[in-house]
Structure 1
Amino acid sequence: MSKGRLYLIPVPLGQTEAAAVLPQPVLACAQALAHFVAENAKSARAFLKSLPANLPLQQIRIAELNEHTPDSALPRLLEPLLAGNDVGLISEAGCPAVADPGATLVALAHQAGIKVVPMVGPSSILLALMASGLTGQGFTFHGYLPSATQEREKRLRELEKDSKQWQRTQIFIETPYRNRQMLESLLKACAPDTRICLATDLTLDSEQIRTRPVSAWQAQPLPEINRRPTVFLLHA
């Protein structure tokens, strides 16, 4: 029996129409599949309902893969693929397997000789970098930085030093309710001429992308970014 394919299907970054940010071939693929692996089954069903899917939602199987999934459950996620069924991997937002637990399933698929098919869609990391005006020739995504203030500021100084030495853009994110603290730490820890970009609500109607040196951010009221998905970038 031939194996199925694992399709990596991006989803919108927020409350916006899928057709506004996803190409038609991606929409058509998602509509046709009967098997999915997702971080959260409830939000996955909402995404499929918005398309809408070709099959009734009750007939679509959605397995969960998230930070709570035990290693012992991972082989079961491959079973539909090994049985010859195509499977769609979707994240909570943006591209699956990038800063996302779905990368574990992709690795297992390669080990099992299953074809992995990445599909085009919004990545907050790349969209932020594209729009920042900071160098895209060399960059590093660090995910989340330490949550404790002193440790966070120490890490920011390390990233700034690395950026200056190697001329690369540093990219990171924060839990949205701590965005304000992250921005305050950036302005305290970094040099006046270090450029900081805030990319907020990407692809949404409320999208805001602003790049300024630390000194310019300090000279004006701070933007309201708390509880709004934001990508932070710096270049020294």
Structure 2
Amino acid sequence: MTGTLYLIPNTLGLNDDASADPLAAVIPEHVRAITAALPYFIAENAKTTRAHLKLVGLTHPLARPLQDIRIKELNVNTEARELPELLAPLAAGEDAGLISEAGVPAVADPGANLVRLAHASGIRVKPLVGPSSLLLAVMSSGLNGQSFAFNGYLPTDAGQRAKRLKTLEDRSRSERQTQLFIETPYRNGALLDAIASICHASTLVCVATDLSLSSETIRTQTAGKWKSEIAAGRTPDFHKKPTVFLLLAE
């Protein structure tokens, strides 16, 4: 009998407080209990996974010492030929957790191919509840939550980025579909500048920063309004902060 691949949610960040249970507000109790019992993790980043397990251990003692928990990395550099080895313990009957560096695994995350292989190998896949920045952004934006698409990162080249933005805006207009994308946090300002300059003044644009944290900010207004505020020097406080951008063309 094969093991179960648990899809373990991670936090989107932690607040600077001295809470005795810093995970309580974002990671359900039963998820922490399952996480604490697992002997093996497939992680986007081993260091952040160990840090997360230390926090889990504050309220749910780990089944074995942290140094004895096996963690193997699965990231953008992992080749397809390496995936079967990552699943080998599950094929032998051991349970494991797939965990992202932040948020839920296999969504905007390199874990999707491993999950697909688990299904093909007859391994049970069990998703667990936790924070997703993309869904939180859609929920809070006021844009179309019936039809939306995540587009990952846009090109960094200004010309290619402008072309991509126009394509997404046209698609949004024709399909009434909310378009989501993200950026490396230190380039948030450049991306918002491009959106405000390239998109039609009436296109709705939401900027959702530090979701689930005490510093969270979410604002939806037209591209024209954003352009005016940028010209006046009033830009969001989002430099080097994880941000989701959404647009909906009228």
State whether TM-score is above 0.5: yes
**What does residue 194 of structure 1 align with?**
203
**What does residue 128 of structure 1 align with?**
137
**Aligned to 1:171, which of 151, 170, 180?**
180
Task: Tell me the secondary structure at the aligned position of residue 97 of structure 1.
Answer: coil
**What does residue 18 of structure 2 align with?**
none
Residues 90-124 of structure 1: per-residue CA shift (max 9 Å, x gap): 00000000011111110110110000001111000
Deviation at 1:54, TM superposition (A): 3.2
**What does residue 115 of structure 2 align with?**
106
Equivalent positions of 1:218-233 (< 5 A) are 218-220=227-229, 221-233=234-246
Residues 19 and 27 of structure 1 are in contact (CA less than 8 Å); yes or no, is this contact kept in structure 2?
Answer: no
Q: Can you give the 5+ residue segments of structure 2 that lack an aligned partner in the other structure?
A: 16-21
- 1:65 aligned partner, one-letter code: L
Q: Can you give the 5+ residue segments of structure 1 that lack an aligned partner in the other structure?
A: none
Equivalent positions of 1:155-166 (< 5 A) are 155-166=164-175
Across the aligned residues of Structure 1 and Structure 2, the Cα RMSD in angstroms comes to 0.9
% same residue: 55
**What does residue 75 of structure 2 align with?**
66
**Aligned to 1:217, which of 211, 219, 226?**
226
Task: Tell me the secondary structure at the aligned position of residue 19 of structure 1.
Answer: coil
Query: C-alpha distance in 2, partners of 1:97/1:222?
Result: 32
**What does residue 3 of structure 2 align with?**
4
Residues 14 and 204 of structure 1 are in contact (CA less than 8 Å); yes or no, is this contact kept in structure 2?
Answer: yes
**What does residue 93 of structure 2 align with?**
84
Task: Tell me the secondary structure at the aligned position of residue 20 of structure 1.
Answer: coil
Residues 134-181 of structure 1: per-residue CA shift (max 9 Å, x gap): 011111110111111111111111111111111110000011111111
Residues 5 and 115 of structure 1 are in contact (CA less than 8 Å); yes or no, is this contact kept in structure 2?
Answer: yes
Superposition TM-score, scaled by structure 1 size: 0.97
Deviation at 1:217, TM superposition (A): 1.3
Residues 41 and 99 of structure 2 are in contact (CA less than 8 Å); yes or no, is this contact kept in structure 1?
Answer: yes
Query: C-alpha distance in 2, partners of 1:120/1:74?
Result: 24
Deviation at 1:71, TM superposition (A): 2.5
Superposition TM-score, scaled by structure 2 size: 0.92
**What does residue 21 of structure 1 align with?**
26
